[in-house]
Amino acid sequence: MGVYLNPKNDSFEESFNSDIYVDKSELIRFTDTKLRKSGKYICVSRPRRFGKSVNLNMLSAFYSKGCDSRAMFEKLKIAETPDWDKHMNQYNVIHINMQNFLSNSKSMTELLELLKKCLMKDFKRAYKQYNDIDYEYSLSFCMEEIYAEEELPFVILIDEWDCVFREHRDDKEAQEKYLDFIRDWLKDKSYVALAYMTGILPIKKYGTHSALNMFTEYSMTNSGKLAEYTGFTEDEISELCKRYDKNPNEMRYWYNGYRIDDSVRLYCPRSVVAAIEMGKYDDYWSRTETFEALSKYISFDFDGLNESVSRLLAGERIAVNIRSFQNDMYSMQIKDDILTLLIHLGYLGYLFDTKEVYIPNKEIFDEFVTAMTVGKKWENTIEAVQKSKELLELTVKGKADEVAEHIEKIHRESCDPKHYNSEQALRYTVLIAYFYAREKYTIIQEMPAGNGFADILLMPNFQNPDGIPIIIELKYDKSADSAIAQIKNRHYPDAVKNYEKILLVGINYDKDSTDKKHECIIEEFTV
């Protein structure tokens, strides 16, 4: 047993013995199928706090011949698989966290030399019976000789593999040297039984190709078969809420929203665990360099970025092209590069089928609001968010003229002038204006109702059981009266059941009026 070679299972044992532990051992079923096959190169990119390191510790504990992990794994789901223990504690495992080497190095040359030195030290200790191995060789040559003697390949686990690209974002030479090192160390090597890397960013590209094109990537934009293993699923949250007497609706409101595919929706594990341990739902997002990135990147002066962020805050989904993203934190050329980076940092969810992004939950929404308070670019939007509670109260009280004034001000101050005169701009203006409503209502756009689709429906949620539903219909260059008439004529209230009263809100914007006049009518409707 060494520090990096065939380590003990202490780290995973800590997680296994924790008060809150979610069993992800079925990941081993997948990795078992990749051992010593062409698919043995796996790269999993997820935001911070999504359980990547816990999974690596688990894989290390399972495969490392330096420990006996049966007592733990026979209690986990993997033990339900036939021949589940065939590969348990049967491999030479190298388990490293690249951030540790980066933090103790002043250059890429120094980092790679330190990595080699530490691994060689473990090799000398473990294989001192092989006197003819020359430890002055390159790392790959040395491991080839060990493999020739042992006839036992390595499982190589690398955490924070992408730290170089996050901390040395402008040093292209260092990045290429690092990528070439990993390629020469791992690619086409018979001594590799499995190479499993984790990080925040997908694999960096340079030139016309990736230096690590042997890896299959499982990222926030395409998680493939590994979707459910990094992050908590709905079923796992239901079990945790039942065990710790938590409201699943409130947990969902705060931390759900990462729709990896049609069948898997993920929660951020760190936030869920913190909410259970602290006994309160709150914003537990760590103030790391990723938060600094959020504040920095949403302030970039790219065409359309300001409007897109405003629409995201309004609860809309925005189409994004992820293909131009260079998988780093500095090669930003267009708005879509920023949005793609925010997907990988966990600040946006991504729908693979429709290629759209969105803000996934309240915790992340609060992060956006906090980030936007830095600087003056977002002052008007932040003011609108802050006044949204007042707007909701005015709406419930039927103060139609004051509601119209609020929305008119937000429309004028928050919208990009180039897109001001559009029905879409009016829609996200209204959605931003009613931001606070998310605290008490579920906001549904284009709700199938009666003989059509209601523009916006506010349904009281679990925090507002005595609230009154609100149907909002928007008109552009028509009238608020016609909006109310459409709600009634198309029977939109039919979609709202078990309520005696409903508020009908009609809002119209007249683009040809000299003062950009907005009109509002609020009417109470008895079912």
Residue-wise pLDDT tens digits, 412-432: 776 655 555 566 778 878 888
Residues 78 and 96 reside in one and the same domain = yes
Strands 518-526 and 441-449: unpaired
pTM (predicted TM-score): 0.88
With tokens 């001192």, the residue in question is 128
The answer as to whether 122 is a domain residue is yes
Q: If DSSP codes are grouped into helix, strand and coil, which group holds residue 133?
A: coil
Residues 293 and 393 reside in one and the same domain = no
Residues 129 and 156 reside in one and the same domain = yes
Q: Where are the beta strands (DSSP E) in 40-148?
A: 41-45, 92-97
pLDDT of amino acid 208: 46
Residues 69 and 147 reside in one and the same domain = yes
Residues 141 and 35 reside in one and the same domain = yes
Residues 402 and 356 reside in one and the same domain = no
Residues 349 and 422 reside in one and the same domain = no
Residue ranges of the chain with per-residue pLDDT less than 70: 1, 205-210, 261-263, 286-291, 375-376, 414-423, 512-516
Residues 315 and 240 reside in one and the same domain = no
pLDDT of amino acid 328: 78
The answer as to whether 211 is a domain residue is yes
Residues 399 and 494 reside in one and the same domain = yes
pLDDT of amino acid 160: 95
The answer as to whether 102 is a domain residue is yes
The answer as to whether 284 is a domain residue is no
Q: What tokens appear for 524 in the block?
A: 């109470």
CB 210, CB 204: distance < 8 Å = yes
The answer as to whether 329 is a domain residue is yes
Distance CA 383, CA 467 (A): 25
Residue 327's domain spans which residues?
Answer: 289-372
Total of domains in the chain: 4
pLDDT of amino acid 412: 76
Question: 283 Cβ partners below 8 Å, 6+ apart?
Answer: 363, 366, 367, 370
pLDDT of amino acid 430: 86
The answer as to whether 314 is a domain residue is yes
The answer as to whether 5 is a domain residue is no
Residues 64 and 172 reside in one and the same domain = yes
Distance CA 383, CA 418 (A): 21
